[in-house]
Chains A and B, each alone.
Chain A
Amino acid sequence: MTGLRGVLILGFPVAVILAFWLLARWERRRSNDPQTPSFVADNGWPVAVFLVAAVSFWALVMVVLPQLYMVDFSFHPKLPSSQRGGPRDVYTLENYQYFLFGSTRSTANWNVTHITAFWLTIIVSMGITALNFLICYPLAYFMAQVGSGSQVRKLMLLLIIPYWVNELLRAFAFNILFGTSGVLNVILVKAGVIGSPIDFIGQDVALYSGLTYAYLLVMMFPLYNALESLDHNQIEAARDLGAPWWHIHLNVVMPYAKPGIASGCTLVFMLCAGALAAPLVLGGPKTLWFTPIVYDRFYQAFNWNQGSAYAIVLLLTCILFVMIVMRVFRVSLSEITR
């Protein structure tokens, strides 16, 4: 086994389990309470073993270790497997260098394409998130506060049906809609609104609409859940006091629904920034979107180390976004996840 990595694979899970066990025993001794039973006693041996094994495998082997590996990988140069672990396998920043400067050797020119793609992705994702929120909010509010029970159920069903279709197919449908000989163009030309078909796809309009469409439901559910628990009397009271409707929404409803808004925005942003299907299907030849670029690093340039570095950049951005949202909205992690 390649030395350091070998130690990581074997030692890490064992170390973590041991740490937990010791901490649990220390905690029990501290609380001085004969009532807290031991984990094994409370579950019986077979189940206890199952629980520990399953959770360790999941948390460590499936979640944490691969991420650590990817981070590690991004700091190594691309080498054929025979040379891994050998003298050329050193820690280096060259992959990140490539992202910024387009070359692993010089820092003379900026890697305009990739950097632009990155920032464009981030900014457009934020825009799409905001647009998504504006589109969904009225309906979510209606369903949560105004609509009757049966109305809401029907609406819910209507909302869910489109999402049973695979995201690729949904993107594809947009392709049909927005293509040069697609429905929209045909109608517009026939109606005489425009002279010749607009290249919606090349102009990225198709992509952005497709992305907005794709994640409407993801914004809708957290919003709806948050708004549903709002006591309608508060709104009534505000209205009685003479507040206009936009004031009520800004100052009574939205602050209350903060966790739901944060949740929806976070999820939509992450899905947008990490979107692969829609850009692939709806992207034109000059479309810049970050995740397909990551994909290309793997399957076009076959440089997995670079691909990892790019993936790490994406991951860090997402983490940063989540943290900013959590800070700005003052919500905790558990409030964000469904």
Chain B
Amino acid sequence: MSARTVQRLMMGFYFVLFFGFLFGPLLVMAVTAVNTSQYPQVLPFEGFTLDWFTILLEDRNVVEGIRNSVLIGIFVVLLSVPLGLAGALVMTQIYVRARSLYYLVVVSPVLTPGVIIGISTVIFWRDVADSIGSESVYNGLFLATLGQSTFISAYCMLIFLSRLQRFDQSQREAALDLGATHTQVFFHILLPFLKPAIFSAAVIAFLSSFENYNTTTFAILADKTLTTVLAGRVRQGTTPAISALAVLIIAVTLAGAVLYEVLRRIEQRREEGRARAAAVAERAELAGEVAPSAA
């Protein structure tokens, strides 16, 4: 066998191992979700059932956890997207010397271990609550939102920064030249341009918040989110209802991804249609069929 073939075989072997390693656990979990066995296992396979899914949804803790996770997710989106946007805009305008320091400060939460963000948030606001004498601030949902937003805003900021880089400043100038105030430029020109980024940032923010554990487990205090419920369950040794949950999550995310891809394709096709129309107009122009003279 030639060296080439050996190399190919090795690569193939590597791929199989790699993706086997990657997907194996998931397949295992999917199987346990439908196994009638009381304890999550793949073998022996005792029977096919969908009961675990219904049991899952009847579990009050799980339902409350989902409710809180969704709520926090929404709040996190509402907080992180504007913060990330502000962060990105300030980054493009801050004077050069401060830029590295500023970048360091706002990006540091991404590199900080999640537990530390959770701990510090709780300690800080505990003291604020004491100082202003109000317990309302010391609330699990509030603190989880704040803690998660600390680093999720940084993700949003990076998304906005990359979109902003492609912004054509001459559009701002054109709008100003036509008489718009700076505030109008922001709302009429900049925000519409950023709409795709706002959407991506919102999706990423929600997903990151939903699946977060390290920060949430400290910040949520006595409340529960889906992830903390899961953690509790998994420690106790569990039923396959948990596997059922995993399968549900995958199914929902897959559906979301497919939807996203379909929408993207549609938009792409529309863009191509427009470009074709422009090309047709160009050719007509060059062929001399220019529109009748204005005067």
Contacts of B250 in A (CB 8 A): 161, 164-165
Interface 1/0 per residue, A140-172 and B, CB below 8 Å: 001000000000000000110110111111111
- Kindly specify which of A36-44, A112-120, A233-241 makes contact with the partner chain: A36-44
Q: Are A183 and B43 in contact (CB under 8 A)?
A: yes
A181 vs B237: C-alpha distance in the bound complex, in angstroms? 13
Closest chain A CB from B11 CB (angstroms): 7
Chain A, Cβ-Cβ closest to B7: A245
The B-contacting residues of A in range 43-67, CB under 8 angstroms, are: 43-47, 50-51, 54-55, 57-59, 62-67
**Cα–Cα distance between A42 and B172 once the two chains are bound (Å):** 11
B56 touches A (CB below 8 Å): no
- Stretch among A102-110, A191-199, A249-257, A274-282 lining the B interface: A274-282
The verdict on A55 contacting B90 (CB below 8 Å), with A44-B181, A44-B186, A69-B127 known, is yes
Among B70-78, B114-122, B194-202, B280-288, the stretch that binds chain A is B114-122
Interface presence of A243 (CB below 8 A): no
Would A177 and B235 count as touching, CB distance under 8 A? no
Instruction: Give the contacts of A164-213 with B (CB-CB under 8 A).
Output: 164-177, 179, 181-183, 186-187, 213
A169 touches B18 (CB 8 A): no
Contacts of B93 in A (CB 8 A): 39, 42-43
In Å, the complex CA distance between A179 and B41 comes to 9
The smallest beta-carbon distance between B245 and chain A, in angstroms, is 7
In the assembled complex, the CB of B90 is this many whole angstroms from the nearest CB of chain A, namely 5
Interchain CB contact under 8 A, A73 and B42: no
**Does B26 contact A162, Cβ atoms closer than 8 Å?**
yes
With a cutoff of 8 Å between Cβ atoms, the chain B residues found around residue A333 in the complex are 100, 103-104, 107
Complex Cα spacing A51 to B87, Å: 8
The complex places the Cα of A275 from the Cα of B215 at a distance, in Å, of 11
A interface footprint on B132-164 (CB within 8 Å = 1, 0 otherwise): 100000000000001001100100001000000
Q: CA of A318 to CA of B217 in the docked complex: distance in angstroms?
A: 20
Q: How large is the interface on B (under 10, 10 to 19, 20 to 34, 35 or more residues)?
A: 35 or more
Asked if A139 is at the interface (CB within 8 A of a chain B CB), the reply is yes
Complex Cα–Cα for A135 and B20 (A) = 13
Find the residue from A20, A50, A168, A179 having the highest chain B CB count within 10 A: A168
A176 and B25 within 8 A (CB): yes
B158: chain A residues within 8 A (beta carbon): 337-338
In the complex, which residues of chain B have a beta carbon less than 8 angstroms from the beta carbon of A304?
Answer: 123
Q: Is the interface of A mostly helix, strand, loop or mixed?
A: helix
- At the interface, yes or no: A308 with Cβ under 8 Å from chain B? yes
Bound-state Cα–Cα, A30 to B42, Å = 72
A69 touches B83 (CB 8 A): no
Contact status of A62 and B149, CB under 8 A, knowing A308-B123, A314-B113: yes
What is the CA–CA distance of A27 and B114 in the complex, to the nearest angstrom? Answer: 37
| Given known A43-B182, A176-B32, contact A186–B22 (CB-CB < 8 A) | no
B48 at the interface (CB under 8 A from A): no
Contact indicator B113/A298 (Cβ below 8 Å) = no
The contact of A175 among B22, B103, B227, B234, by CB within 8 Å, is B234
- Contact residues of B between 82 and 133, Cβ < 8 Å to A: 82-83, 85-87, 89-90, 93, 95, 97-98, 100, 102-117, 119-121, 123-125, 127-128, 130-132
A87 interface hit (Cβ, 8 Å):
no
Q: Which 6 A-B pairs have the closest CB atoms?
A: A274-B113, A173-B25, A44-B182, A54-B86, A66-B120, A44-B183
Which residues on B are within 8 Å of A, measured CB to CB? 11, 14-15, 18-19, 21-26, 28-29, 32, 39-43, 82-83, 85-87, 89-90, 93, 95, 97-98, 100, 102-117, 119-121, 123-125, 127-128, 130-132, 146, 149-150, 153, 158, 181-186, 211, 213-214, 217-218, 227, 230-231, 234-235, 238, 242-243, 245-246, 249-250, 253-254, 257
Given A59-B102, A213-B21, 19 more pairs with CB closer than 8 A: A20-B98, A44-B182, A44-B186, A47-B182, A57-B83, A58-B86, A66-B124, A67-B120, A167-B211, A168-B234, A169-B246, A169-B249, A172-B234, A176-B29, A186-B42, A274-B114, A314-B113, A315-B116, A337-B111
A-B contact pairs, 20 of them (CB 8 A): A20-B98, A43-B183, A44-B184, A58-B83, A58-B86, A58-B150, A63-B108, A67-B116, A162-B23, A176-B32, A176-B41, A179-B41, A186-B43, A213-B22, A270-B113, A274-B114, A277-B213, A277-B214, A295-B217, A295-B218
Which of A's residues lie within 8 Å of B, judged by CB? 1-2, 5-6, 9, 20, 23-24, 27, 39, 41-47, 50-51, 54-55, 57-59, 62-67, 69-70, 73, 81, 84, 135, 138-139, 142, 158-159, 161-162, 164-177, 179, 181-183, 186-187, 213, 216, 266-267, 270-271, 273-277, 280-281, 291, 294-295, 298, 304, 307-308, 311, 314-315, 318, 322, 333-334, 336-338
